[in-house]
Amino acid sequence: MGEGATALAGGTDLMVEVNFGHTRPENVVALRRVEELAQWEGGRIGAGVTWRRLERDGPRALAQAARTVGSPQIRNAGTLGGNVGTASPAGDGLPFLAAVDASIELASESGRRTLRWDDFFIGVKKTARRPDELISAIQLPEALPDRQEFAKIGVRNAMVIATVYCVVTRAEDGETRVALGSVAPTTIRARRAEELISSVASPGEEDLREFARLVSEEVTPITDHRSTEQYRRHSSGVLARRLLERCLR
Amino acid sequence: MTTKTTTRITPAKGGVGESPLRPDGVPKLKGTFEYAQDLHADQMLWGATTRSPHPHARIVSIDVGPALAIGGVHAVLTADDVPGRATFGLEHPDQPVLASDEVRYWGEPVAIVAAEDEPTARLAAAAVRVEYEVLEPNVDGDEAERRDDTFRRMRIRRGDQEVQGEVVVDGYYEVGMQDQAPLGTEAGLAIPDGNGGVDLYATSQFVHVDQEQVVASLGLRPDQVRAHPTGIGGAFGAREDVNLHIHLCLLALYTGKPVKMVYQRSESFTGHVHRHPARMWYRHHANRDGTLIRVEARVVIDGGAYASTTAAVLANACYFSVGPYRCDSVSVDGVGVRTNNPPCGAMRGFGAVQVCFAHEAQMDKLATELGIHPLELRRMNALTTGDHMPTTGQLIETPLPTREVIDSLEAMPIMDDGPPDDVTQLPGGTGLTTEPGDVKRGVGYALGLKNLGFSEGFDDFAQARVRLTEEGAIVETAAIEVGQGLVSVLAQIARSGLGLSRAVVKHVDTSRIESAGSTSASRQTQVSGGATLEAATKLRQRILDAHGGDDLNDSGVWRGGELVVGIEELAEAGWEETVTFRHPPTYAPDEDGQGVVHADFAVAGHRAVVDVDPDLGLVKVHRVDTSQDVGRALNPESIRGQIEGGIMQGVGLAIMEELVIEGGVIKNPNFTDYLLPTILDAPDVEALLIEEDGSWGPFGAKGVGEPPTISSTAAVAAAIRDATGRPVTRVPVRPQDIAIG
């Protein structure tokens, strides 16, 4: 990408920023006709793959997340690459990527490089992408855990920005991953809770309660116009426990 | 004095009682209907507004130079360019057309620009350099009250002030700031007439009052300004106050060109008034048998920076603070405070919504305390025809079927089918937060009471003209269609009044007809409908008299079974009749708030069934059933439309719709964060229409627009209490209020 250029895919984030007057891009590079970006082979999801496609064909928890993005019109336009590029703490696709340790593929004139999600997302709407790089694909691991569950709390039943976002995966060997969004500057993993529960083959009430408590402890939410710190902390634990229980069924 | 309806319904296809297809229905569905946003004139310029980024500041200087320097900019105007009255206002002209010395709310207009296209206009508006000395915003209502910075104080004292009930319940309640959030933002087009005058086409609920305010601020003669009704995408009270109207006319006359403006969504949230946030303290006294003995209330509403209709909203809140219940000892104190918060004014329900949430919570509290079923307690105390209003003491002469509303609501089958299997129909919806096992179901009831038409001695009238033409009968009016179905119902009334099946409504501008009053206060069906019916029946009689006829139908005038004059001949004769209709007079209250203050009343009841996920505090309103007093259902389908839409707005206020204000700044002026219910949040609705003769509206019709919104919020709140045991003393109920408390 050239200097000062702004990439435009579905426009569902960028145009909001433009309409609010928050940004006024000098040069816009429209990506819709770059076919490579819309390609999806195995675990390599092109950055231009839309929510609508993910909703239909994505791995379970990513498909569930995709279903909650905006309205059908928005899902037909918005892309996973755009979601990654915006890097909102409430990004709908990000908790899944964090849970499965996905990588972000970046392309520039000087070649391609791949960054793991936690090296890529570095702050609120901040990423390690260089100005000359374009997000070309999202790479998922070869094998995904069988059990994966997603949930998102918002004040209305559709078309809502998450106040708490959670994905829990559990592999056959018990390895459990817990990723949360909207409760920290970036999407996070609740590592202590993961560690506790991964080693328990059949978690009982005590384990589940401790798991939820740890999740609530590990998040660092804020109070804003959408919710409160206390509520986000509380419901992070409730939600993670519910998803874990769904994984265990 | 009860006005009995004696006018007979003359048989005519598409007359009252039917639900004919709306004339604007298909165009609206196909996207061909012309809304104000779609207006166009050759050579037109686009306008934009420079707004204050501070809720309170002194304006040190304004430099329009940088804006004027932008190519394509034709005008940049400030307060100095307002030739006439510097202020406007629906009740008191206290709001600057453009701020000159001080800005008093976030988003207040400071300058306006006209340019060759919309982006240039917005760029120029942003380029106006305003130097502010930022002042501390006054956002604390209590402090405003202490300083006596108020728009109005209300004091109601009725009956023996010393009586006490055997049982007393207290409560404190809050209602957040709701927005009308019309899907069509403020928009309009002003076209100079070349002779110093101007034609204005803009979103409005009341074109005559816009016209008066434009005339005053432009310093023109009344005949130089014509305000035209235009296509409106929703109003709900937000279109009563002037916003872009004077600005458009200033720019059009200054540039000599047509000027169009369309507010952006975020701008719309600062460009119109909102529903008043309220704080309410209540004490209800009752005897052990359930008889309501005394109600004491204190109501504080925040009017924001300018008067708008705060005085009238406050009065209404106080008049309806007891609800539809008999009570002979009442004490209400109310105040509308002035702050640097966003200005508030009219919104569907007009003060009755806020107090309904409180009085219904109190009635439920009382019912629990007494061990009486909530509906039974309400039935025992139901206010009805022949009773006196608990607040004003006014004798209720028109039908008020409160008991019938309660009985029918109780009789409606309640489907206790348990939480649905489809998880997207559970709390949390597509977010998949909740499974049936996480859900508690609750049921709640509420009743609401509202006046119909304007009150307190306001000269409330509407003019309508009925003409016979080749197209059939034409009803000419300046009454605004805001989506509610006025264009259907006035035509239906004309058909039934004339006995002719062809009738259409045609909107005319302020120079061609007198005022119809505002499309608000649930009044147009009664008031403009009253004018239409009187004009139609008079015209019919005049035609029959002129031809010695005994019947008039689509063929013409008949006498003794023979056609004496054909309809074409009648149309050519240019028959027309103009009527100005007034409802029974009302009067200003005395110093105790007593008197004949209102013209008519309507009552409605709602039963809400909700599913709540208590651990996450999420709510899905499963269904809302209702019974509503409608007088006479002139168009049952339109009434159901009003009921379903009104319930959606009530559900919105109950669980999600709130403008979040911090230090005078709106934190969520957009549809990302100002949440309106979607179809996945919509409850199923069953509606019963209670009809009774005797109101003064056409054929006994009552207004129906506001009651669906008034008690639906309170019913949802009651159902959440039932499901969770939480007190729910504030709406919207937030997830944290339920999950954490």
Q: Which of B118, B264, B269, B433 to mutate to test the interface with A (most CBs of A within 10 A)?
A: B433
> Mean pLDDT score of chain B, rounded to an integer?
96
pLDDT for residue B1: 36
Are the beta carbons of A20 and B266 separated by less than 8 Å? Answer: yes
Which of A139, A166, A189 is at the close of a domain?
Answer: A139
Over pLDDT 70: what percentage of chain B?
Answer: 99
Helix extents (H) in B589-706 = 636-655
CB contact under 8 A, A156 and B667: no
pLDDT at B6 > cutoff 60: no
Residues A127 and A170 in one domain: no
Whether A5 is covered by a domain: the verdict is no
**Chain A environment of B656 (Cβ under 8 Å):** 155-156
| Cα nearest neighbour of B425 on chain A | A157
Q: Which position has the token pair 């007079």?
A: B585
Same domain, B607 and B714: yes
Whether residue B162 lies inside any domain: the answer is: no
Query: How far apart, in whole angstroms, are the C-alpha atoms of residue A155 and residue A164?
Result: 10
Task: Write the DSSP assignment of B43-74 as a string of letters.
Answer: T-EEEEEEE-SSSSEEEEEEE-HHHHTSTTEE
Q: How do strand A147-153 and strand A134-139 relate by DSSP bridges? A: unpaired
The phi and psi torsions of B283 (rounded to 5 degrees) equal: -140, 120
- Tokens 């909703």 belong to A55
Q: Among partner residues A16, A158, A238, which is closest to B429 by beta-carbon distance?
A: A158
Confidence of residue B7 (pLDDT cuts 50, 70, 90): low
Domain membership of residue B145 (yes or no) is no
CATH number at residue B214: 3.90.1170.50
* Cα of A73 to nearest chain B Cα, Å: 15
Give the gap in angstroms from C-alpha B667 to the nearest C-alpha of chain A.
7
CATH number at residue A238: 3.30.390.50
Q: Give yes or no: residues B285 and B224 share one domain.
A: no
Q: Among all residues of chain B, which has the CA nearest to that of A155? A: B656
Averaged over B633-638, what is the pLDDT?
97
Q: Does residue A3 sit within a domain?
A: no
**DSSP, res A22:** S
Q: For tokens 């069953």, what's the residue? A: B686
- Identify whether A2 is part of a domain: no
Residues A14 and A124 in one domain: yes
ipTM of this predicted structure = 0.96
B348 touches B276 (CB < 8 A): no
* Whole-angstrom distance, CA of residue A234 vs CA of residue B463: 59
pLDDT exceeds cutoff 80 at B416: no
| Structural domain of A180 | 147-248
B232 lies in some domain: yes
Minimal CA separation from B211 to chain A, in Å: 32
With tokens 């139908």, the residue in question is B553
Q: Are residues B84 and B232 in the same domain?
A: yes
Domain boundary residue, one of B211, B243, B271: B271
Does the beta-carbon distance from B617 to A231 stay under 8 Å?
A: yes
Residues B343 and B371 in one domain: yes
Q: Which of B301, B292, B359 is nearest to B328 (CA)?
A: B292
Best of B736, B738, B740 to substitute, by most chain A Cβ atoms within 10 angstroms, is: B736
State percent of chain B over pLDDT 90: 96
Least confident of A10-19, A186-195, B53-62, B590-599: A10-19
Give the confidence band of B4 by pLDDT, cuts at 50, 70, 90.
Answer: very low
Using 50, 70 and 90 to split pLDDT, how confident is the model at B421?
Answer: confident
Last residue of a domain, one of A102, A122, A139: A139
- Which of B523, B556, B582 terminates a domain? The answer is B582
Asked, as a colleague might, if the bond just before B342 is cis with ω within 30 of 0, I would say no
Cβ of residue B729 closer than 8 Å to a chain A Cβ: no
Chosen domain end from B271, B290, B323: B271
User: What integer is the mean pLDDT of B457-475?
Assistant: 96
Mean pLDDT of B96-114: 98
Q: Is some CB atom of chain A closer than 8 A to the CB atom of B437?
A: no
Residue type, B328: D
d(CA B491, CA B10): 14
Which domain CATH number covers B333? 3.30.365.10
Encoded amino acid at B245, one letter: H
CA atoms within 13 A on the CB side of B438: 25
Verify that B624 and B724 share a domain, yes or no: yes
pLDDT for position A11: 95
DSSP A79: B
Q: What is the CATH number of the domain that holds A109?
A: 3.30.465.10
Residue showing tokens 């500041």: B57
Domain count, chain A: 2
A97 and A216, same domain (yes or no): no
* Interface touch B739/A16, C-beta < 8 Å: no
Q: Is residue B716 part of a domain?
A: yes
Shortest Cα distance, chain B CAs vs residue A72, angstroms: 13
Average pLDDT over residues B424-448: 96
| Total Cβ atoms within 10 A of residue B485 | 25
Q: What are phi and psi of B415, to 5 degrees?
A: -90, 100
Question: Degrees (nearest 5) of the Cα angle B595, B596, B598?
Answer: 125
Which is more confident, B319 or B4? B319
Domain match, A57 and A177 both: no
| pLDDT tens per residue across span B467-513 | 999 999 999 999 999 999 999 999 999 999 999 999 999 999 999 99
Question: Does residue B100 form part of some domain?
Answer: yes
Helical (H) or strand (E) element with B259: strand B259-262
Would residue A1 count as lying in a domain? no
In a domain? residue A33: yes
Whole-angstrom distance, CA of residue B229 vs CA of residue B224: 17
Mutation pick from B430, B435, B619, B681 vs chain A, by most beta carbons of A within 10 Å, is B430
> Does residue A109 form part of some domain?
yes
A125 and A175, same domain (yes or no): no
Same domain? A119 vs A155: no
Give me the residues of B, 671-700, that contact A with CB < 8 A: 672-673, 675, 677-681
What pLDDT shows up at residue B286?
98
Q: Environment class of residue B100 by beta-carbon count within 10 Å: exposed (0-12), middle (13-18) or buried (19+)? A: middle
Label residue B277 by pLDDT band (50, 70, 90).
very high
Mean pLDDT of B577-602: 97
The length of chain B in residues reads 741
Compute mean pLDDT per 10 residues along chain A, 249 residues long, and list them.
88 91 91 95 97 97 96 96 96 97 96 98 96 96 95 93 96 97 96 97 97 98 95 98 97
Q: pLDDT value at position A19? A: 84
Bridge-based pairing state of the strands B259-262 and B45-51: parallel
Count of A–B CB contacts within 8 Å?
Answer: 97
Residue B175 lies in a domain: no
Q: Which domain-ending residue is among A139, A158, A189?
A: A139
Number of domains in chain B: 3
Full residue range of the structural domain in which residue B402 is found: 278-454+591-738
B119 CB within 8 Å of a chain A CB: no
Are B286 and B219 in the same domain? no
As a whole number, mean pLDDT of residues B401-429 equals: 90
The whole-number average pLDDT for the span B358-365 is: 98
Q: Average of pLDDT values for B708-736?
A: 98
- Give which of A13, A150, A155, A182 to mutate to test B binding, by max B Cβ within 10 Å: A155
Question: Measuring CA to CA, which residue among A189, A166, A33 is closest to residue A101?
Answer: A189
Q: Has residue B558 got a pLDDT over 60?
A: yes
- Say yes or no to pLDDT of B644 above 70: yes
What single DSSP character describes residue A170? Answer: E
